Structure 1
Amino acid sequence: MKTFTPKPADLSHDWYIIDATDVVLGRLATQVATLLRGKNKPTFAPHADSGNFVVVINASKIALTGDKMGKELYSHSGRPGGLRRDSYAELLANKPERIIMSAVKGMLPKNRLAKVQLGRLRVFAGEEHPHTPQKPQVFEIAQVSQQAK
């Protein structure tokens, strides 16, 4: 049996929408990373860009477990003195998109393809998003936070 290698004509990029209400951050990030890489497709190859577009809505209603509210998210601008430190509690109130983007980025492979795949992720704090013309399919995450029940 020959090994299947997808050609550029074989690759398609579907659109998925995920509601992050009461979903634990890590569980959401793993599902989003899987969709972005295209691992849900039978034509998956690690070197080919067969990933999907993913729209995450209600990022401000995500569930953080443990002591993550006191934890801090670090980023650096690359300039001298450019270290930025924000707590998860602050980010959840002001910019919840950054929490999800950093969690998903950590679950993607560390190569050139990861930047392309992360570019297909769209995160919105609220319910509204401008991607309705693309007709995204609803992707349901069954496991919600235990605190939400």
Structure 2
Amino acid sequence: MKTYRVRPEDVVRNWWLIDAEGKILGRLASEVAKLLRGKHKVYYQPDVDCGDFVVIINAEKIRVTGDKLEKKIYHFHTNYPGGHKERTLRWMLENKPEEVIRLAVKRMLPKNKLGHRMLKRLKIVVGPNHPYQAQKPQPLEVKA
């Protein structure tokens, strides 16, 4: 049986538009990660970057379940001595809602050069208007 290897120049990339209003963060992030990796395509291969572009609008209107708003903590360091900082999910949603989705999707992608390249195709916008009209993204309904 002859196997077919897809080459990077043969990959066709589509643009998808997802409205995050009322969607649960983790479920949305897992669907977006599948699209960025290309797992929905027939010719998917784990070592080839064959994913699509994804535009997420209304990033500030996502939902979380349980008491994650107060208990989920994001850690980061400023690279200065004593510069360890913590932010709750509530603070992040009020100040940087696009970063919440970006981090959730980033942690579901491969931790290598391929994953970094996939993450560059994720476009997150606060509000309903986005600057990617020229690419004609297809609306995609993600289950809540």
TM range (shorter): over 0.9
TM-score normalised to structure 1 length: 0.90
- The structure in which a higher percent of residues are helix is 2
Identity score, percent: 48
Any idea what the Cα deviations from partners look like across 1:25-65, whole Å, max 9, x if unmatched? 01000000000001111111111111111001111000011
d(CA) in 2 for partners of 1:117 and 1:80? 33
Q: Does 1:7 align with 2:1?
A: no
d(CA) in 2 for partners of 1:48 and 1:40? 14
Task: Note the C-alpha offset of 1:84.
Answer: 2.8
d(CA) in 2 for partners of 1:91 and 1:51? 28
d(CA) in 2 for partners of 1:122 and 1:67? 28
TM-score normalised to structure 2 length: 0.93
Aligned to 1:59: 59
d(CA) in 1 for partners of 2:29 and 2:108? 7
Using the TM superposition, name which of 77-86 and 104-113 deviates more: 77-86
* Count of equivalent residues: 143
* 2:47 partner letter: H
SS of the residue corresponding to residue 110 of structure 1 reads coil
* 2:87 partner letter: D
Task: Note the C-alpha offset of 1:10.
Answer: 1.4
SS of the residue corresponding to residue 87 of structure 2 reads strand
Unaligned runs of 5+ in 2: none
Task: Note the C-alpha offset of 1:141.
Answer: 0.9
